[in-house]
């Protein structure tokens, strides 16, 4: 089978959260660049609508859904609206997430984010965005995908969900670990309906999730030392994996967690 058929997503209907920037933007771009119709959801309306205009000018079939994933009614409504417009839902990328601040020992050696200094307000906010919104996204998508007996759900976890990472806060680490078992549980339930559920576990990427602190040269140097490939990834480097998981190439892949981390979790 030729690659263009193996990785063909032409005509797919997709929904991507956190799509105005970073990894979500890259995921939406690669789907749209390869012929999918993509609804891009984000809380940052100005950035999202500007990006959608640019992508449309380049010939992509994209739509904007300005919403806060922590607003579960709005999130469900956004997904249901896609199905109402297009008649189906082929792929969902539950990607939106926020940082809970630095960990108890950041890459730069600063001591902060200790367990006794983590507020319950921060804990609840991060759980709402990073975990509850993903559950609701999966729940809403699954209802449609079970009915059509096909679909792909791809969740953005983190290597911080696979192992302890001292440079991320407790709420972030906890939510990313929880997502992994959520994916495995859903994969078992939805497999008979030909709905595949997988997680991506990114390592260190240039994104704005932590307030852009990876743009600090000193922080960059510390991270380069712990990444076997010796560099921080660009957001576009997620595109190949995202396309694989949405395409026929991954037709026998479900319940998996795939690190994309430059070798950090290799040992």
pLDDT tens sequence for the chain (267 residues):
899 999 999 999 999 999 999 999 999 999 999 999 999 999 999 999 999 999 999 999 999 999 999 999 999 999 999 999 999 999 999 999 999 988 887 555 455 688 988 999 999 999 999 999 999 999 999 999 999 999 999 999 999 999 998 889 999 999 999 999 999 999 999 999 999 999 999 999 998 776 566 777 887 888 889 999 999 999 999 999 999 999 999 999 999 999 999 999 997
Give the pLDDT of residue 212. Answer: 63
215: left (phi over 0), alpha (psi -120 to 50) or beta: alpha
Q: What is the pLDDT of residues 239-258, one digit of tens each?
A: 999 999 999 999 999 999 99
Tokens 């140097």, residue located:
221
Give the pLDDT of residue 223. Answer: 84
Contact at 8 Å (CB) between 239 and 180? no
Distance between first and last Cα of the chain: 35
Tokens 């307000």, residue located:
121
How many Å apart are CA 171 and CA 239, to the nearest integer? Answer: 27
Pick the catalytic residue from 7, 170, 172, 193: 172
Give the pLDDT of residue 112. Answer: 63
Give the pLDDT of residue 142. Answer: 99
Q: Which candidate, 247, 219, 248, 245, places its Cα nearest to that of 232?
A: 219
Give the pLDDT of residue 110. Answer: 55
Name the CATH code of domain 3-259 (choices 3.30.1020.10, 3.40.50.300, 3.30.390.30, 3.40.50.720): 3.40.50.720
DSSP 8-state class, residue 87: S
How many Å apart are CA 122 and CA 129, to the nearest integer? Answer: 11
Gyration radius from the chain CA atoms: 18
Is residue 170 part of the annotated active site? The answer reads no
Q: Where are the domains of the chain?
A: 3-259
């Amino acid at each position: 089978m030729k690659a263009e058929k193996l990785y063909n997503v032409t005509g797919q209907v997709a929904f991507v959260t956190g799509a105005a920037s970073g990894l979500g933007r890259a995921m939406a771009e690669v789907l749209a660049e390869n012929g999918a119709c993509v609804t891009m959801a984000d809380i940052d309306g100005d950035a999202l609508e500007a990006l959608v205009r640019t992508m449309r000018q380049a010939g992509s079939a994209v739509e904007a859904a300005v919403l806060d994933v922590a607003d579960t009614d709005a999130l469900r409504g956004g997904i249901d609206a896609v199905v109402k417009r297009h008649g189906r839902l082929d792929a969902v990328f539950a990607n939106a997430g926020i940082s809970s601040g630095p960990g108890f020992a950041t890459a730069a050696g600063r001591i902060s984010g200790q367990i006794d200094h983590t507020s319950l307000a921060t804990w609840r906010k991060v759980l709402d965005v990073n975990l509850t919104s993903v559950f609701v996204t999966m729940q809403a998508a699954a209802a449609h995908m079970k009915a059509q007996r096909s679909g792909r759900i791809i969740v953005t976890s983190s290597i911080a969900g696979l192992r302890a990472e001292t440079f991320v806060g407790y709420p972030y680490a906890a939510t990313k670990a929880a997502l992994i078992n959520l994916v495995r549980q859903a994969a078992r339930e939805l497999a008979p309906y030909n709905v595949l559920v997988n997680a991506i576990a990114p390592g260190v990427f240039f994104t704005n999730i932590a307030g852009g602190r990876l743009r600090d040269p000193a922080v960059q140097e510390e991270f380069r030392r712990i990444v076997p490939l010796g560099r921080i990834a660009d957001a576009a480097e997620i595109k190949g994996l995202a396309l694989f998981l949405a395409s026929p190439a991954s037709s026998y892949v479900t319940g998996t967690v795939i690190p994309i981390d430059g070798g950090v979790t290799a040992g």
